[in-house]
A and B are shown apart, each in its own frame.
Chain A
């Protein structure tokens, strides 16, 4: 049988009543855990893992994968409505998404996020179908030294477009890097800055920090307002994106699909990083960069597409090599092994029905999610009708439960509360939260991979330039920095500053 026959067979499996039912359950549950702050795909999949024991392997894995990509759809909802990232990969969406909601445009923001997610997810599945084996080979070539260069590249791209004061951004990045060093040193197991506490021995919880810095600080800021905050009552007309929104979103969605698909094969935290990179790229390419941070729809469309585009390609290392590249695929790995399916180079020959059934179901799942999410938009938007005095306690309770449920660690709740207050003051003085969170995530990976590279090379720095891909990456980084340097020397800096000031 050719691959095409297998794919047709796969659709047969996925479209059976069992396939459809469990795909739907997975997508629905994924959307729910995505919407709830703190609870992410990891918790969602772990909770339903025992349920798959009684299913046949293909059906079980279809359901669990549905939770994974379903959560990427749901994550944007609370980011947009109440500025609480529902999921780590939706942190960036808070920035422009919530601004849009404050302008009464939560509807278009949610719709564009759903449509972008659908397109990103679908493009990524095509990647999985057509280029899985070569991509898997490429992935084997990505060692720690390549990852170091990739992270530096991402940091340079992102830093080129940071808003506001460069010094304040640099300060937040430094703070993020510092906070990232808290916890056990991954290479030696030595605890750093933990003060002997087991609660932070694994580092500060990203979910707790993100929810605190974005969500709790938002609530505190709103408490200042003496006049009652009017609940937003959207009209149906406001739910639909306008022609201008679509014009601005579609290029962002196209680019987000590519960025997410590429980042999906990089191990670690690609689902988070891809959203930051997409946001940076959109801002750089936009004709109106000054609108970013003030409700630019492209700032929602790009990142929300990118985090879904990761889901397809992140399956490649799992299925083709049997190696999970992000935490969510680790759960899928164990689900497969429980059922006696060994992912890896032989999966395509030994269990083709699992591989192709899964791919077909991911496509169908994305359609289900689109159908599921579009009507939900009006329901979610109407949640904003709840008066703020009642909404706040609900949000806080859900956040506390969510943050606690990630690791069953009560210390994380304190992290959330303290970072909420810190975020409140930082915002007062015009500091951005996003660079801090990015530095926290990337700094950790950067340090670990940098030290691993040097350990493996016996301390020789030449390990960072000893193959073609490294030289290309290093060259691109230098080029970007040089262009920036020249632009700065020729006074571009002044206009940029003016722009930032005027905006």
Chain B
């Protein structure tokens, strides 16, 4: 009896090995056949990390492999990008990145320019928003900018760290009218607390940081600094609509090591496109605070290049550009 059982087990084990191991050998080009590791430049638990995990889940479902998420956050995310640049360009290492690709390069943290990576797809867009206390004296962006211009170094604007996207978009906005503000770099969430506590006059953050305080009537959004209005605050006009041409969307997307084969990029891109279009991902966007915004690899590459140029200019105006 035991012998028979052992025989059956051995036979089925052999069959399994054959089916999984040997069976897949001839079709070697079939990507993917092992887990794809997604490096995330942002801290575990941040909104960007949550988005990455939703995306990873979607890719995993569509490509039938595990997509583990690993947070490599060192040096403003530069550590994650450096890690990716050192991996084999075979599609099994991808990185969840953002405009920080350019800002960490210009600030000197990242020794690699954006063209050291292969763009795969843009996934989402977030719009920086400028908030003030509900009882602030300025009705719209124009009034606030005029006040800031007339009172140099009196208006304090909180952001999420020197050289962060929120810092650069705030600086670009106020610099566009020649106003001098005091930029205050805070750790996660603290810009909102300090705005509520009246220790700063305004704060630029991604919408999720403000939404509950706007609903409760404590804060007011003066403008969003993107190309179009943010569905979270549909009544708030963009800076452009109010006559100030500052459009700095925060995009996030997937990149891979340079020289990743185009057919692998295409497969990843397709899985990402389907995920981004799925109702679950759209729903996640509403709760986490991002807009699904798929762009295929070539267009994504163009966007990275044009934003890189723009961010480089803003940073050199601010004296923050360390890399030429």
Contact = CB atoms under 8 A, between A and B. Distances in A.
Interface of A: 42, 45-46, 49-50, 53, 139-144, 184, 186-189, 191, 198-199, 201-202, 267, 317, 321-324, 327, 330-335, 337-340, 342-347, 407-409, 448, 452, 455-456, 458
Given A188-B162, A202-B73, A344-B212, A330 B109 contact: no
B188 A408 contact: no
Contact of B185 (A45, A187, A191): A187
B280 to A, nearest CB: 10
Contacts of A333: 45
Contacts of B287: 337-340, 342
Contact of A322 (B70, B153, B212): B212
Interface in B191-211: 192-194, 196-197, 199-200, 208, 211
A408 B72 contact: yes
B44 interface: yes
B193 A139 contact: yes
Contacts of B199: 143-144, 456
A201 B74 CA distance: 6
A324 to B, nearest CB: 6
Interface in B166-203: 182, 184-190, 192-194, 196-197, 199-200
B288 interface: yes
A42 B44 contact: yes
Contacts of A342: 211-212, 215, 287
Nearest to B48: A334
Contacts of A198: 74-75, 78-79, 82
B263 interface: no
18 contacts: A144-B194, A184-B109, A189-B107, A191-B109, A198-B79, A199-B79, A201-B74, A201-B78, A201-B79, A267-B187, A324-B189, A330-B188, A330-B189, A334-B46, A334-B288, A340-B286, A340-B287, A408-B71
A472 B240 CA distance: 47
Contacts, number: 147
Interface in B61-110: 70-76, 78-79, 82, 107-109
Given A42-B44, A334-B46, A189 B161 contact: yes
A338 B288 CA distance: 6
A491 to B, nearest CB: 45
Given A188-B162, A330-B188, A345 B211 contact: no
A366 to B, nearest CB: 23
Central interface residue in B47, B162, B190, B200, by most chain A CB within 10 Å = B190
B132 to A, nearest CB: 16
A347 B79 CA distance: 36
A346 B212 CA distance: 7
Contacts of A322: 189, 192, 212-213
Contacts of B182: 455-456, 458
A140 B109 contact: no
B186 to A, nearest CB: 7
Given A346-B215, A452-B184, A46 B44 contact: yes
A267 B44 CA distance: 18
Contacts of B213: 322, 344-345
Nearest to A196: B111
Interface string B35-49: 000000001111101
Interface of A is mostly: helix
Nearest to B81: A198
Contact of A337 (B107, B197, B208): B208
A331 B50 CA distance: 9
A184 B45 contact: no
Contact of B50 (A144, A199, A337, A407): A337
Contacts of A188: 162, 185
Given A191-B108, A324-B45, A324-B189, 6 more contacts: A49-B45, A49-B53, A323-B189, A344-B216, A345-B218, A455-B184
B303 interface: no
Contacts of A338: 50, 54, 284, 287-288
Contacts of B186: 452
A344 B218 CA distance: 11
B156 interface: yes
Given A143-B197, A334-B45, A458-B153, A53 B57 contact: yes
Query: Which 5 residue pairs across A and B have the least CB separation, nearest first?
Result: A344-B212, A201-B75, A331-B45, A345-B216, A323-B189
A186 B76 CA distance: 10
Interface of B: 43-47, 49-50, 53-54, 57, 70-76, 78-79, 82, 107-109, 153, 156, 161-163, 182, 184-190, 192-194, 196-197, 199-200, 208, 211-213, 215-216, 218, 284, 286-289
Given A184-B75, A189-B107, A189-B161, A456 B156 contact: yes
Contacts of B189: 322-324, 330
Contact of A267 (B70, B190, B218): B190
A113 B72 CA distance: 34
A324 B163 CA distance: 22
Contacts of B156: 456
Nearest to B72: A408
A140 B133 CA distance: 13
B3 to A, nearest CB: 39
Contacts of B288: 334, 337-338
Nearest to A188: B162
B74 A330 contact: no
B109 A201 contact: yes
Contacts of B49: 334
Nearest to B39: A408
A140 B54 CA distance: 32
A407 B193 contact: no
Nearest to B68: A50
A468 to B, nearest CB: 14
A143 B82 CA distance: 36
Nearest to B192: A323
A323 B187 CA distance: 11
Contact of B194 (A143, A184, A189, A202): A143
Given A201-B75, A201-B78, A337-B288, A321 B193 contact: yes
Contacts of B43: 330
B128 to A, nearest CB: 18
A253 B122 CA distance: 53
Contact of B162 (A49, A187, A346, A409): A187
A191 B212 contact: no
A184 B47 contact: no
Contacts of B108: 191
Contact of A343 (B73, B75, B192, B212): B212
Nearest to B191: A323
A406 to B, nearest CB: 10
A187 B162 CA distance: 6
A53 to B, nearest CB: 7
A39 B1 CA distance: 47
A188 B315 CA distance: 13
Contacts of A144: 194, 199
A257 to B, nearest CB: 26
Contacts of B197: 140-143
Contacts of A332: 45
Contacts of A345: 212-213, 216, 218
